[in-house]
Amino acid sequence: MSKLCVRCFAVSLDGYGAGTDQDLKNPLGMRGPELMEWFFATDFWKRMHKLGEGERGVDNRIAEKGFDNIGAWILGRNMFGPVRGEWPDDAWKGWWGDEPPYHVPVFVLTHYARAPIEMQGGTTFHFVTDGIESALAQAKAAARGRDVRLGGGVATIREYLKARLVDDMHLAVRPLLLGAGENLLAGLDLRALGYAVEESNPGERATHMIVRKREQPA
């Protein structure tokens, strides 16, 4: 049965999943790239971007697992790009160039309609204007029994957590303090929402926490 999963989502020790002042030059915000240093060092990342070989330890194995059995993705508008308000034209097609790394249908949450965009390598971006539950229903249908990966950003994951729609979540907790930015956990009582930590795996550059939804809230 298809599940909604958060995988390889990096947060600082104080809960921030993005830094301040996100823009075209800083898509993860100020100091945001420090969150992803665990991922950038892996052999999986290096080979994906034709950068030679990388590290092949625990972090790499978990990075590889993050793409297993994924049939569709959901992204927030900010994760797709920095354009705000009405789409001025069709020029912006994401951060990733002509061949994004998804290779499956991707459903982008937005308030503004836009025609689907077919990219090289099997990625098609679909723009959903009628809310998170509609996006999830469409993504599960497109995934055909495989899992749906919720890519972010922070605000989008928080929405799905509040609605108890996330089945399991992998957080890569980095040993750093951002102090400001977008906080994934502030004000969320995950225990009351029915979530529990089931695994903790120390890696080379992050500690990997697996949080899963119980059948009923606490």
The pLDDT of residue 215 is above 80: no
Report the DSSP beta bridge partners of residue 212: 168, 196
Assign 162 to helix, strand or coil. Answer: helix
Give 138-194 pLDDT, tens digit per residue. 999 999 999 999 999 999 999 999 999 999 999 999 999 999 999 999 999 999 999
User: What is the predicted pLDDT for the residue at 23?
Assistant: 81
CA distances from 152 to 11, 52, 91 (A): 12, 28, 22
* Domains of the chain listed by start with CATH number: 4-20+29-82+100-213 (3.40.430.10)
Q: What percent of the chain has pLDDT over 90?
A: 88
The pLDDT of residue 217 is above 70: no
Assign 46 to helix, strand or coil. Answer: helix
Segments in 22-180 forming alpha helices (H): 32-35, 37-40, 43-48, 58-65, 77-80, 132-143, 154-162
User: What is the predicted pLDDT for the residue at 119?
Assistant: 97
The DSSP element (H or E) to which 12 belongs, if any, is strand 4-12
What distance lies between CA 46 and its chain's CA centroid?
A: 19
Over residues 57-61, the mean pLDDT reads 97
